[in-house]
Structure 1
Amino acid sequence: MDHDNNMGGELALDRESTDEVVSSGFNVGRAIDNLAHWLPTQAPLKDFIHHNPLHAFQDRGFHEGVLVASRLYGAKPYLDLEVYQQYFREGRISESALERVLLKEGLRAGDKAIREELLRAQNTPAPSGPGAFHQRWFSERGVDLDGQVHRVLFRILSNYLDQGVSIWRMPHAGDTLWNAVARIVDESYLPFPPLSDRQCKRLLKGSPDDAIRFCLERLVGSERHYEAYLFEMLLAHPGWSGMVVMTENNRSLLLPRKVSLRDMVAIELLLEYGFLTRSLGDFEPLVGGAEPVPVPTFSLATKPIPTRIEVLQRIWHEALEWSYYEDLLKALQQTGRMGNRTPKQPKMQAFFCIDDRETSLRRYLEEESDKFETWGVAGFFGVDWLFQSAASGVPTKLCPAPVKPKHLVREVRKVDASDVFRKPKPLQLLHLTPSNTLFRGWLITQVLGLWHALRLAWQVFLPSQSRATDQSLSQIEPLGELQLLREGDQQTEDGLYLGYSMGEMVERVEGVLKSTGCTKDFSDLMVFVSHGASSVNNPYFAAYDCGACSGRPGAANARAIAWMANHPTVREGLRARGIDIPDSCRFLGAFHDTTRDEVTYFNAEELSASHRESFLEFSQIMETALQRNARERCRRFDMVSKDFSPAAANVHVKQRATSIFEPRPELNHATNASCVVARRDLSRGLFLDRRAFLNSYDPATDPSGNILQGILGAVIPVCGGINLEYLFSRIDSTVYGAGTKLPHNVMGLIGVANGTEGDLLTGLPTQMTELHDPVRILIVVEQKPELVLQVLGRNPNLMEWVKNEWVRFACIHPEEKNAYIFEGTEFVPAGIDPAVPLPEATHSEAVFGGSSAPIPVHLIGRTKP
């Protein structure tokens, strides 16, 4: 199907049948449920979690899904051809990868005509998406309906869902959206056009369903087209539509709202009816008693036929992916043949989150000392809980989004910490007093306005390194105490257990240690390093924190798992399960601020004298590694010296974290492309350019695949969601992404919009994605292919991700050391020659030098610079 045959067409929305005509009356509830399936599922700002923007299409193959979404939303399915062609000229798409994809497509790699077309073809315009009905209101009736309706609708939704921005709260916000609007219209002494018009006011006294049916009959006419009309209406503002659905299904707002898509649809239809009545008087519906002039129809139930341009784009896209896949799989095959390269008697050990931003820090730690061993595990460290800090009265979920926690742990302030937790002085609370009255507003402006203006200017031009304005550690008190231990079975009103029993603690610690293969050779000091990110003036703050902690810093989790692992009773339970932690071993919690490249340690003052020496050495090595890590990060920043010393680079990244005008405090997950689930031997000493998630896993300890099943249950949806959000936001920054940050305005603390009256923006801004190569993540597991197939077969949801190729999946056979790639329904040899040598360097700095370009995988020696 050619693009030109889809533009502006009506949509057949039923996923099973495209010809069904409702004969028993329009079912409002069924239609609303069907429409909600296709809307974005981006959570409010405080709960922002990376996800697949095309989740509604995961039951289809990746390439089919992106084409269907392209027709539906008017988005680009791939990068423009010119971008791929430029990548090929720069060497970022390799000749071997292009040949591989051409052979897969049944084409001859040496065919000159094919090469000529690949290198010279140009893009055609992307489809415009649905809009046939609403375009007709303007073209046939001269009414800009969206322009009039959205201005009012967005103000209603923004005020109703507001979480603390509005000076005046919307009246009746505790009621349903429909009832709140109806009561405002009924009680207001001022007109509320067009809802205060006689007919609209009468409809507001009834039910939303009655209003929907009435308006659709007057606006559309034929029931056959009701659902398509509603879908066009909702897709004209997918951000607000999706936010309403998310808020309705996940009532996690701090100021709860009884909002529903049904109420919003009813109010929007009333606004359309009211504005049309004001503009046209008594108007005829778009369809009436007869069918409209036929318009092209695109059905969601049929498989789209790609255009020639889309075929070329698909070839280039897979060639871009395989250029990276070949490089990585070649490296992992070679390191697998090198034998055991981890220290036999490690002096220091640290657990990190699998996050790709921790990959380079782990490399530097191991470069600094060959007695340093690192592990990768999901950053919630197995502690599946709701955490309520001493500074907050609201419990916060600190585990992966799909997990439903059954435990609540509260933090309390120590009695002897009164000097730290002193009561704030009255002047410190001045900003919390009402400041919008005539006198107080004038007084605060005159007294404090000049001072804050000067301070703002100073921060713009000379940002400090102070943590005063960041939030990465704000959820945890420096001297707080976690109420982790539960003696009985006490529960909250919500059925949550208050803390963990000893048996449950044993299970959590055992899960972390066994899943990573860390069951022996414990060093005297072991550190759980959580992570989060500091920034100011950044509405996407949650996207920078730990995905395994539901988009929040994991500091509390690190403290909790360390406390559990240190408890004598927990260790007794572990010994009974075959894990003997010596009494000389001490666990410590820590927090890595990935923006500032700074580590904070928890409860280090409680270490014994014998452990303090180990801790001092650990912290010194960590500090050096952090500085080197900051220097590597700086190579990707524009307008930053590539000749920074490590110490100067560390100062610079701290300033970025506190700079109020900095749109790129860090690059976050930009360039993520792989996840390696394997022993550290496979990735130790590899320069992976901060592109890989690293999850420790020992196939020898998991003959049943049960450990792998648990790992993949978190890795595939979490890493896959991160990867696909970056991928689609990079491919189309206006439909799937949020465009540039510069004109963004925070709306009600739930989302961002361009200006003050725009639709909520979904996806990621260009400042987070502009350096990203949009390749699907390659998950590489060190395990026998037949066992991995069994593991995937136990979980249909995971198999859907892999079989439909929303993530690519490969295995490194633990005995053969060869790579296998999942194709169709099985693993087949990847066909990558492991004998081709990797480029080598003595240390990381020798690899990147002053370059800001992507760098292929290198093998790093042990010699420090």
Structure 2
Amino acid sequence: MARSSSLEKESYPQHLNDLVKSAAEIISPLGPINTFAARNPWMGLEQQPFEKVARRLKDVCDVDIYPTESILKSAYKRGEIGQEFLEIVLHNWLDSLSLDVPRDVAERFCRSALLMDHPPSKLPQTQEFRRFEKKLSHFKHKISEKHAIKTFSQYLDQLGNEGTAKDLNRHMIKWCKLFLDESQAVLSMPNREDGFYHAWRGLVKYDPALKSSVRLELNDLPEKAEDALMKALMKLEIPFYEIQEYLEAHLLALPGWAGMMLWRSQKSSQENSLLEEYLAVRISLEYALIKPYLPLPEKKIEDKVLIEPLAAAWDEWGGIPLNRLAQLSTAELKAHFTLAHRFDRVVRQRLWLEAWEKTYENQLKKIIESKQPNSEKYVKPVMAQFIFCIDVRSEPFRRNLEQEGPFETMGAAGFFGLPIETSELGCHHSHNSLPVMFKPQFKVKETSSELELKQYQQRRKAAHSLNSTFKTMKHNLPSSMLLPEISGPWMGLQTLVRSFVPRGAGSALRIIRKTWLQKPSTKLSLEREYTLHSELPVGFTDEEKVSYVRQALKMMGLTEYFAPLVVICGHGSHSTNNPYASALDCGACGGASSGFNARVLASLCNLPKVRQTLAREGISIPVDTVFAAAEHITTLDKLNWLYVPELSDSAKEAFDQIESILLKVSEKANAERIPQLPNINLTCKNPKREAERFAEDWSEVRPEWGLARNASFIIGERNLTQDCNLNGRAFLHNYKWQNDKNGDLLSAIINGPGTVCQWINLQYYASTVAPHYYGSGNKATQTVTAGIGVMQGNASDLLSGLPWQSVMHSDEEVYHAPIRLLMVIQAPREYVQRALNQSQEFYQKVQNGWIRLASIDPEGNWESWS
């Protein structure tokens, strides 16, 4: 760690807040698991190239964000990486260099390095080799690189005092659990309302897990977190120009707990300094723990480049043994070794990944080009139109639905453009029903008559009273001793039934609950209500109703040729005993099912005043067209009706036909999906029953695959992909460029749903390539902690990503293909170029390799932009 004779004390206070904010970009905010939302772990780093970030993370926390060699070679053997594309990316890489090595020699060396299954063998330390090494004594200094900054506790571990960094993490985990606990602790952390730093400062002096010397050092901390952080940094003598990297290293040590602090700081203005408090606690504690070892010896930045592995690489991969290398001139040797140094493991992984991505792009291109749209299909009248969420799990269901009748399906973002907070009947709490990147602007309540509501609430209260009593008794010492005797017979019976007949038990319990609750028919508060008790306006004004319906119809591409029945389909999931249940609902909306949004939009579309206004604007919805709402349950591939108003004759005919084929569609979709799950009896004659068992079995670690194997986001008309089997790997969003002269619709899709899809893609990607850092490890050994997330054991980081079972087929084989999202836009080239020019953020993502881009022009020509 470099030291500074002058610590620039006056500069610390005014810049420290800004440095904390900048350092926070290296992690992503992490919300509670019950509102799980896919997050791009590197969302703050997209202004840097993907490869640069990969190198930084490897240096600081020894984390690979490129797929491992075993994953890549396995994909190669399965045919998912084409040899011809490996050659293309290799040639492109070599073209970007100016090396004084013959091209054929460079190609042979690099090709061998890519295809070899093992690293080069070490060369014997002979006298000949030592003379050879001396000849190139100045070479390594010219291409050496600076080590990334690590924390002092990590450096102390490297010096031989192992366990210091682990000890610091252990203490931080303990304090974070106490402060962030939402439901599990019987006694809350004292003075928690004063903030993390103040609560910790008041208690740490009494912590028996710390040595008395450490507690004494922490006994005289400043009142303010900012002052404590500044004081600790100054005592550690961190130069001002290294502070941000030093803070980043601490955040990367426990990115889960730090991410939760960041999320809390963004959610509440009262806790906006929470991440700074976290760093103040961590670095103050670090100084107290390592003080006896100070001053640490100066860090020596050693040369990373050693001659031996480079010579061994040329011997094994280039076919040039040491005796032939020794005959080359010094300039030729440096050219050869510079190539070997640059063509390191990270570059090789990068090229393999790019070849994988190009192979998938080529396969997708062939699928789309091989399926010419059937113009006759659109001449026939369409009886019903379905608007599904762009979720990849909708694609197989849509395809099977279209094959069963004169139906048309479309894709749009599953919250349907409604920035709402929802309050369901009888609930005292509401929840956001939109992507986590946005904030709700309106509240919509489910209402009923006063008498029916009162009776329903009483039944709900009675149903919940047993759980409340059980929890109270469990947390009370005298009653907890009696609890096993009281609850034993019932819990034992429930365990047996749920274990041996999960499907029947789950179905029976749901029926009993539904029968008992007797939820009355409800209405939605669509009309604007003025109340002093709500932070958000309840309902919509007339202008707002028209605005959101107009926006939704345009985003769907549905502004003409309306069918008699239009079904807005939200989606959700169903599983039992699953901490990650919300992750299977909506990957963007914090675990909220989008069925409520579907019902709100369908209701708005049926309002006569809304239709009259839209008609004057040129969007004429026929009188006999009726909008309904349904929900696609992805675990069961089943469509449930949520809202069916009074139907016109033609709409009723369409509804009846849909009802007659839904069971068949569900069976076909399940027959396609269920065999992909591991440990399935492939001779199973009833995939539907098997799907129901998966949803109800409380021991099932993988109720469905979720959004695993997602790979592309296709923006275009449905006839582009209709009849194409995309294997549930594509997000499908309708878009008609002819109706988007100024490009506003395309920009909205790219920056809204496109960003959401990219987050989902990189969440799955990260959980696959680094499952124990960006994922959450094995689901069977997880511990739900503090009511907010999961850990491995009782002293790990708060795990931020998806469990091993969501991305892996077995211990040795991945199921999710960790490739970056391919965005395909059906539009003229100038439209795509305009979208890149208008959004610097989108341009950076493409330019720096965080997303891949292709387009299909009106003539059907495919162009790759990355």
Aligned to 2:836: 792
Q: C-alpha displacement at 1:360, in angstroms? A: 0.2
Q: C-alpha displacement at 1:714, in angstroms? A: 1.5
SS in 1 for 2:865: strand
Aligned to 1:67: 55
Query: Aligned to 1:387, which of 422, 426, 438?
Result: 422
SS in 2 for 1:615: helix
* Cα separation, 2, equivalents of 1:820 and 1:19: 56
Q: Is the 8 A contact 1:590 1:602 kept in 2?
A: yes
Aligned to 1:261: 275
Could you report, residue by residue, the CA deviation over 1:348-377 in whole angstroms, capped at 9, with x for unpaired residues? 2111001100000000001111x1111111
| Structure number with bigger Rg | 2
* Cα separation, 1, equivalents of 2:610 and 2:519: 25
Query: Which residues of 2 match residues 654-733 of structure 1 at below 5 A?
Result: 654-733=692-771
Q: C-alpha displacement at 1:39, in angstroms? A: 2.4
Query: Which residues of 2 match residues 18-417 of structure 1 at below 5 A?
Result: 22=8, 24=10, 26-27=12-13, 28-106=16-94, 114-122=110-118, 131=150, 133-138=152-157, 142=161, 144-184=163-203, 193=210, 199-200=216-217, 202-204=219-221, 206-219=223-236, 229-251=246-268, 260-275=274-289, 280=292, 284-286=294-296, 291-294=298-301, 307-335=343-371, 339=375, 341-342=377-378, 344-369=380-405, 371-415=406-450, 417=452
* Cα separation, 2, equivalents of 1:384 and 1:733: 33
TM-score (norm 2): 0.83
Q: Is the 8 A contact 2:426 2:457 kept in 1?
A: no
Query: Aligned to 1:459, which of 488, 498, 515?
Result: 498
Q: C-alpha displacement at 1:60, in angstroms? A: 2.0
Aligned to 2:674: 634
* Cα separation, 1, equivalents of 2:841 and 2:245: 30
Structure 1 stretch 589-598 or stretch 450-459: which is displaced more? 450-459
Q: C-alpha displacement at 1:34, in angstroms? A: 3.2
Query: Aligned to 1:544, which of 584, 600, 605?
Result: 584
Q: Is the 8 A contact 1:218 1:284 kept in 2?
A: no
Q: Is the 8 A contact 1:177 1:258 kept in 2?
A: no
Q: 1:454 to 1:504 in 2, by over 3 A?
A: same
Q: Is the 8 A contact 1:42 1:242 kept in 2?
A: yes
RMSD between superposed Cα atoms in Å: 3.6
Aligned to 2:811: none
Q: Is the 8 A contact 2:361 2:822 kept in 1?
A: yes
* Cα separation, 1, equivalents of 2:441 and 2:519: 23
Q: Is the 8 A contact 2:791 2:799 kept in 1?
A: yes
Query: Aligned to 1:444, which of 483, 486, 495?
Result: 483
SS in 2 for 1:522: coil
Q: C-alpha displacement at 1:673, in angstroms? A: 0.7
* Cα separation, 1, equivalents of 2:463 and 2:630: 34
* Cα separation, 1, equivalents of 2:158 and 2:75: 42
Query: Aligned to 1:810, which of 854, 858, 864?
Result: 854
SS in 1 for 2:569: strand
Q: Is the 8 A contact 1:525 1:586 kept in 2?
A: yes
Could you report, residue by residue, the CA deviation over 1:173-219 in whole angstroms, capped at 9, with x for unpaired residues? 22211222334468x7x968458977446424633234334444545
Aligned to 2:819: 775
Q: 1:520 to 1:30 in 2, by over 3 A?
A: closer
Structure 1 stretch 674-683 or stretch 447-456: which is displaced more? 447-456
Q: C-alpha displacement at 1:568, in angstroms? A: 0.9
Could you report, residue by residue, the CA deviation over 1:130-163 in whole angstroms, capped at 9, with x for unpaired residues? 6463244346584733343333332221121111
Q: Is the 8 A contact 1:174 1:258 kept in 2?
A: no
Aligned to 1:485: 527
Could you report, residue by residue, the CA deviation over 1:382-427 in whole angstroms, capped at 9, with x for unpaired residues? 2121112224323322122333332122222344646655434758
Q: Is the 8 A contact 2:568 2:602 kept in 1?
A: yes
Query: Which residues of 2 match residues 509-588 of structure 1 at below 5 A?
Result: 509-588=549-628
SS in 1 for 2:184: coil
Query: Which residues of 2 match residues 499-514 of structure 1 at below 5 A?
Result: 499-514=539-554
Q: Is the 8 A contact 1:335 1:681 kept in 2?
A: no
Which amino acid in 1 is paired with 2:694?
Answer: R
Q: Is the 8 A contact 1:476 1:555 kept in 2?
A: no
* Cα separation, 1, equivalents of 2:518 and 2:561: 32
Could you report, residue by residue, the CA deviation over 1:313-339 in whole angstroms, capped at 9, with x for unpaired residues? 222211111111011123333445765
What is the number of residues matched between the two proteins? 784
* Structure 1 segments unaligned to the other structure (5+ residues): 1-9, 13-17, 299-303, 824-865
Q: 1:571 to 1:458 in 2, by over 3 A?
A: same
Aligned to 1:599: 639
* Cα separation, 2, equivalents of 1:743 and 1:225: 38
Could you report, residue by residue, the CA deviation over 1:220-278 in whole angstroms, capped at 9, with x for unpaired residues? 577676655544443322211221122112239xxx9677122222323443444457x
Q: Is the 8 A contact 1:716 1:798 kept in 2?
A: no
* Cα separation, 2, equivalents of 1:611 and 1:747: 50
SS in 2 for 1:708: helix
Q: C-alpha displacement at 1:710, in angstroms? A: 1.7
* Cα separation, 2, equivalents of 1:94 and 1:746: 42
Which amino acid in 2 is paired with 1:593?
Answer: I
Q: 1:580 to 1:214 in 2, by over 3 A?
A: closer
Which amino acid in 2 is paired with 1:818?
Answer: N
Q: 1:775 to 1:596 in 2, by over 3 A?
A: same
Which amino acid in 1 is paired with 2:295?
Answer: P
Query: Aligned to 2:781, which of 735, 743, 759?
Result: 743
Q: Is the 8 A contact 1:516 1:698 kept in 2?
A: no
Q: 1:467 to 1:549 in 2, by over 3 A?
A: farther
Q: Is the 8 A contact 1:378 1:548 kept in 2?
A: no
* Cα separation, 2, equivalents of 1:501 and 1:24: 54
Structure 1 stretch 231-240 or stretch 208-217: which is displaced more? 208-217
Which amino acid in 1 is paired with 2:672?
Answer: E
SS in 2 for 1:498: coil
Q: Is the 8 A contact 1:386 1:407 kept in 2?
A: yes
Aligned to 1:819: 862
Q: 1:749 to 1:606 in 2, by over 3 A?
A: farther
* Cα separation, 1, equivalents of 2:213 and 2:69: 52
* Cα separation, 1, equivalents of 2:569 and 2:547: 20
* Cα separation, 1, equivalents of 2:602 and 2:2: 55
TM-score (norm 1): 0.83
